[in-house]
Amino acid sequence: MRIAYSAFLVVAATLTACGGGGGTTAPNSTGSTGNTGNTGGTNTGGTTTPVSTNTVNATAENSFSPNSIQVSVGTTVSFIFASVIHNVNFSGTGAPANIANTSNATVSRTFATAGVFTYDCNLHSGMTGKVTVQ
What confidence score (pLDDT) does residue 50 get? 76
124: DSSP letter: S
pTM here is 0.65
The tens digit of pLDDT for each residue in 7-64 reads 433 334 333 333 333 333 333 333 333 333 334 443 334 446 678 889 999 999 999 9
CA-to-CA separations, 128 to 31, 41, 93, in angstroms, rounded:
26, 13, 18
CB distance 84 to 57 below 8 Å: no
CATH class of 40-133: mainly beta
Q: Pick the residue with more confidence: 119 or 3?
A: 119
Q: Tell me the Cα Rg of the chain.
A: 19
Q: What are the sequence ranges of the domains in the chain?
A: 40-133
Residue 75 bridge partners (DSSP): 111
Beta pairing partners, 119: 90, 129
Cβ pair 55, 80 in contact under 8 A:
yes
For residue 85, CA distances in Å to 53, 60, 68, 134 come to 23, 9, 20, 30
User: CA–CA distance from 120 to each of 20, 77, 86, 101, 128 (Å)?
Assistant: 25, 15, 9, 12, 4
